[in-house]
Chains A and B, each alone.
Chain A
Amino acid sequence: MARGESKDHCSEVKSVAMKNGYFQTRIRGIYKYISENLYLNRPDIFIKDESFNSTLLFGLLTGLNRGKELIIGEPGLGKTTSAEYVGSILYRYPLGVIWGSEVSGHPEQTEEKIIGRPHLGELNKGRERVVWSNFAQIPVKIVDEINRLPETKQSMILNGVDRGNWEYLNEILINDEYSLFATANYQDRGTNTIIAPLIDRFDILVESRHPGSNIAYTIGKEALSHNPLRHPQYEKELQQILRGDNSYEEKMALAEGVCDFFGEYLKEKLGIEGLSKEERRKINEERMGLDFDIDANAFVRMTLAELSFCHKFGQKRSVEVCEDGCHYTGYLCHHIKNCASNRLPMSIRNYAQTLAWFLEDDEVDLEHIRLIMPYVLAHRLQWKDSYLSKKEGEARNDPFQIYLVKEATEEILQRYNEQRDYLLEALSVGYRACAGEAITPLEGDHPIYEEIKKDIGAKDEKSL
């Protein structure tokens, strides 16, 4: 097989017996390798009798489901490096290419550095041709310290972050697959807020935490002189491909060829197997085939109801303040200012399915939802000051944003637990009503019952 030619994996992938857990085993191998050698950490989440480090786990899930992850944390705690390692191994890009493609957040960033620039030679000849940046081209996109980008620059990358569409000088580049990792330090001098439309486009928020003094000591002690994920030769080849004059599709095909070689190198030298494009596609297909079980389904609807419902104003709006004395003051809708966007259920679905796939479960259940919910919601909710001030003094193990949603998730789960049967019946009645049956919707205290009534066209009789 000549270098530079992409290997056709389709037939090979198809011929490999899709053993139960075949890909999952490989991903676990990647997790284990990174955890033991590159990103030393402590587990901080527990699911199905297993413990994981949230940053690493969610990084892998992001890489698998083409998600967008925002990583926060104190400086120097491995926010960027965790993303680099995950991206490098999953997508089989040598680390040097990842480094060369990162966008760093600072106020002097320009569109030309982030997205692309005119080809100078062609420009001098009076022709327009775009030289796309590595960041725009490669599927592993890392924006370092995104909250140091001024707001105008943040707006500039909205479309690219959201859909993988990059535009410059009337040319457009559309990524057919990508994962985005953005890091942000906590607020200090020189940082801005991340604008609301941009923050909503992130699927999850995780914190890269301090690993504890004992592990931190070993990091210092065992720092490697060279990074095993680097490969100067392949890096050079990839840089040449990315700089080249081919079309984006041709470049990606060529790059995949080099990535195959790098993948073999990883397997031979480090004992880990990255994923080819076809394999990533297959995994995505597999995980999208996982259904939500009935409890997970109902619970997510219940949560969405609490995050979007407003009895007085029709729906939650950040410009409309909910007053005391409303019938629903016991629910989340009373404690938050904004309304949940439609990206939220998409994020829940993608990550819950990916997590269930990773754990080799047959379907998505409540435990998966409960685990990912805080990370999916943490950056999206604007809490009322009164609620924040009550909670901020409480002891916790997570950053405040994530802690709030963990608490909220447990409260919703308790409500679900109490009225599970009744809620399922209400949803079943909803089905029958939508199917044309003349049936009275069930009444209940929770916003979900009002939402069901609205969906089937029944009137809300509750007084304000």
Chain B
Amino acid sequence: MEVEDIIQKLWSRVRRKHLYPQLPLPTVIEGGEDCALEIKSKQLSISSAFYEKLKGKMDGEEIVEAVLDHGITHYMYCPWDFHTHITLYNEAKKVVRQKDQAQRATTYFMDVVTDTYCVKEKDTKIATLYKNLPKSGVHEVLAALYEKIWGEDLGTGGHEELVNRLARIPYLERKRWRESIKKFTEVIQGILEKEVANEQQSSRRESNPMGEHSLENYSLEEIDRGLREFASAVEDLQEFKETVEDLKEELEGKGYSAGGMGRGKGNPIDANLLYYMKLAESYTLPIRKLPIEKRGYLHPHAHKPWEIGKPFADIDLWTSFGKIIPGITQIWTKREGETHGEFEGTPDCLIIIDSSGSMINPREKLSYAVLGAVCACNAYLKHESRAAVYNFSDALRGNKVVLEFNHDKERIYQAICRYFGGGTALDPDDITYLLSCAKKPDIFIITDMQITNLEKLIDFFKKIENRVTAVHLGTNVHTARFKDGTDKRTNISLFNVKNKEDIPKIVLGKVKEYLTSSSEWR
């Protein structure tokens, strides 16, 4: 087939031009004649119908090369990864407030960036391709923009006001893309609204000639990584939540779920949980290495030359060849063997988290207390231990969650993220019950210490032998009381946190300490 032959002929040259992208050989599809290219998980596919349509106006090789230039640059430059894609979408959404329009704005912006990069940096026929493409609506405006910023005649014009504003955007400065896409979207907002309205009326969606951009472009691993980076980068939980909610359908359709990939379709995604899950991935401990253990007996370790005066008992007759001569004779040095041992086991972990009214609602704003709690859970789960959760507000009135020890990350996260916002009182019996379900679990308690029955808690902690880490925010009479009450207990560590951002690090520091000393744990 003609297109296939051209691809075979051009591919190595095009790859070299773009510095050898890790992409498989593009294929040909019987796509629509309006859409040149499809990109699915790194596989570029060129539409033969599109090629046939344009063949009369342009050289066949130039068509294919231009389309490949465009597709490869999307992979190599913009957006490069899923994180960049959703960041751009997120910024565009701040302007238009509508998912469909924001997606289109993102697609068009990425196309402008990609094509401008190609025209400036590579030897490409993209300009000629655009010259021969039909133009209407947004595409007409973009073509006029290309004429202005590329200095090429594309057979279009007009839209001066819009183009003048669009031409001032620094498309090739990656660091300013967030700000640039907002300006871009502001300018084309009116046209986007018209486009969407027209499509609703005609019930026909106009496809982007250079291909659409969606989650189909990315693998599940790329999406997972992108969401993690996005969670770390956003300023606000709500931003993450909004974006994930917008993409929920597509994510679920791809089989992505909060608990991990490959769990199959049908698991609804909870954006809040996903946020903390992804954020916690940035605060993790490495898997504990095999401990170095002494074997308990001496073994011959190495030879060293025998010297006159040294004892004969350790002479190695074999390596000395039966000779007792300085320079030839060798003796063994012995030492206790050290080899990699085995894990003795890691205790389980009980998280006690305060979700009273004085604590931040983790579903509205980023709660470092919750983040610290999930980090601790992650660390224990990673070491194949279990985690339990006691989430309390006014526990005596039933505002509590008591989750028994288990390995199910999603259930644990749900329990931690639950927010009551009521009074602050815990029920020590609940904690006693949970402690009885595991063998001397470690306890992490995160609270602001404004607990009405604090004395009960202090008395409770005085009686237990478990390792306890208490993290509290700020200093008040309650924290002082807790400190006094538990000061003599060596198994209790108390941390007063000034910056709540330090909570995850403090918690992880303690977890690390516990886990490295777990070889003593039986």
Please determine if A and B sit in direct contact within the complex, based on CB atoms under 8 angstroms apart.
yes
Residues of A within 8 A of B (CB): 48-49, 107-108, 110-112, 117-118, 120, 123, 150, 152-153, 169, 187-192, 295, 365-367, 370, 385, 388-390, 392-395, 410, 413-414, 416-418, 420-421
Note all chain B residues with C-beta closer than 8 A to A393: 281, 284
Q: A110 and B340: CB pair below 8 A?
A: no
Note all chain A residues with C-beta closer than 8 A to B301: 107, 150, 152
Residues 244-284 of B, flagged 1 when their CB comes within 8 A of A and 0 if not, give 00000000000000000100000000000000000001101
Given that A394-B221, A417-B19 are known contacts, is A385 also in contact with B286, CB under 8 Å in the complex? yes
Q: Is B433 an interface residue (CB 8 A)?
A: no
Bound complex: CA A188 to CA B303 (Å): 25
Bound complex: CA A421 to CA B328 (Å): 64
Partner among A118, A190, A389 whose Cβ is within 8 Å of the Cβ of B284 = A389
Q: A117 and B321: CB pair below 8 A?
A: yes
Residues 93-127 of B, flagged 1 when their CB comes within 8 A of A and 0 if not, give 00000000000000000000000000001000000
Given that A188-B340, A189-B342, A417-B19 are known contacts, is A390 also in contact with B281, CB under 8 Å in the complex? yes
From residue B48, how far is it (CB to closest CB) to chain A in Å?
A: 22
Q: Which of B387-433 contact A (CB under 8 A)?
A: none
Q: Is B299 an interface residue (CB 8 A)?
A: yes
Bound complex: CA A282 to CA B85 (Å): 51
Bound complex: CA A227 to CA B20 (Å): 41
Note all chain A residues with C-beta closer than 8 A to B327: 169
From residue B93, how far is it (CB to closest CB) to chain A in Å?
A: 26
Q: A150 and B302: CB pair below 8 A?
A: yes
Note all chain B residues with C-beta closer than 8 A to A367: 20
Given that A49-B12, A389-B286 are known contacts, is A365 also in contact with B76, CB under 8 Å in the complex? no
Note all chain B residues with C-beta closer than 8 A to A107: 299-301, 337
Bound complex: CA A132 to CA B340 (Å): 34
Residues 71-83 of B, flagged 1 when their CB comes within 8 A of A and 0 if not, give 0000011001000
Q: Is B522 an interface residue (CB 8 A)?
A: no
Q: B16 and A365: CB pair below 8 A?
A: yes
Bound complex: CA A407 to CA B25 (Å): 21
Q: B286 and A189: CB pair below 8 A?
A: no
Partner among B282, B289, B303, B342 whose Cβ is within 8 Å of the Cβ of A390 = B282
Bound complex: CA A178 to CA B409 (Å): 53
* Number of B interface residues in the complex (CB < 8 A): 41
Note all chain A residues with C-beta closer than 8 A to B299: 107
Q: B80 and A414: CB pair below 8 A?
A: yes
Given that A110-B303, A418-B174 are known contacts, is A120 also in contact with B22, CB under 8 Å in the complex? no
Q: B287 and A370: CB pair below 8 A?
A: no
Partner among B174, B221, B339 whose Cβ is within 8 Å of the Cβ of A192 = B339
Bound complex: CA A114 to CA B337 (Å): 22
Note all chain A residues with C-beta closer than 8 A to B12: 48-49
Q: B20 and A187: CB pair below 8 A?
A: no
Note all chain A residues with C-beta closer than 8 A to B76: 414, 417
Note all chain A residues with C-beta closer than 8 A to B20: 365-367, 370
Note all chain A residues with C-beta closer than 8 A to B16: 365
Q: A123 and B302: CB pair below 8 A?
A: no
Note all chain B residues with C-beta closer than 8 A to A110: 303, 316, 319
Q: Is B437 an interface residue (CB 8 A)?
A: no
Given that A295-B19, A367-B20 are known contacts, is A394 also in contact with B225, CB under 8 Å in the complex? yes
* Further pairs besides A111-B319, A187-B289, A395-B221: 18, Cβ < 8 Å: A49-B25, A110-B303, A120-B321, A123-B328, A150-B301, A190-B339, A191-B339, A192-B338, A192-B339, A366-B19, A370-B20, A389-B284, A389-B287, A390-B281, A393-B281, A394-B224, A413-B19, A418-B77
Q: Is B290 an interface residue (CB 8 A)?
A: yes
Q: A123 and B321: CB pair below 8 A?
A: yes
Bound complex: CA A388 to CA B285 (Å): 8
Note all chain B residues with C-beta closer than 8 A to A390: 281-282, 284
Bound complex: CA A152 to CA B341 (Å): 21
Bound complex: CA A152 to CA B289 (Å): 23
Q: B225 and A111: CB pair below 8 A?
A: no
Note all chain B residues with C-beta closer than 8 A to A190: 339-340
Q: B323 and A123: CB pair below 8 A?
A: yes
Residue of A nearest to B284 (CB): A389
Q: B285 and A385: CB pair below 8 A?
A: yes
Given that A108-B300, A111-B303, A417-B19 are known contacts, is A189 also in contact with B339, CB under 8 Å in the complex? yes
Bound complex: CA A108 to CA B80 (Å): 53
Most buried by B among A112, A120, A370, A385: A112
Q: List 18 A-B contacts (CB under 8 A).
A: A107-B299, A107-B337, A117-B321, A118-B321, A123-B321, A189-B339, A190-B340, A191-B340, A192-B339, A365-B16, A389-B285, A390-B281, A394-B225, A410-B22, A416-B19, A417-B18, A417-B19, A417-B77
Note all chain B residues with C-beta closer than 8 A to A416: 19
Given that A123-B328, A394-B225, A395-B221 are known contacts, is A187 also in contact with B340, CB under 8 Å in the complex? yes
Partner among B121, B221, B302 whose Cβ is within 8 Å of the Cβ of A153 = B302
Most buried by A among B224, B286, B316: B286
Q: A152 and B290: CB pair below 8 A?
A: no
Q: Which of B302-348 contact A (CB under 8 A)?
A: 302-303, 316, 319, 321, 323, 327-328, 337-342
Bound complex: CA A220 to CA B80 (Å): 44
Note all chain A residues with C-beta closer than 8 A to B281: 390, 393
Note all chain A residues with C-beta closer than 8 A to B25: 49
Q: A118 and B300: CB pair below 8 A?
A: no
Bound complex: CA A366 to CA B22 (Å): 12
Q: A388 and B286: CB pair below 8 A?
A: yes
Most buried by A among B19, B225, B340: B19
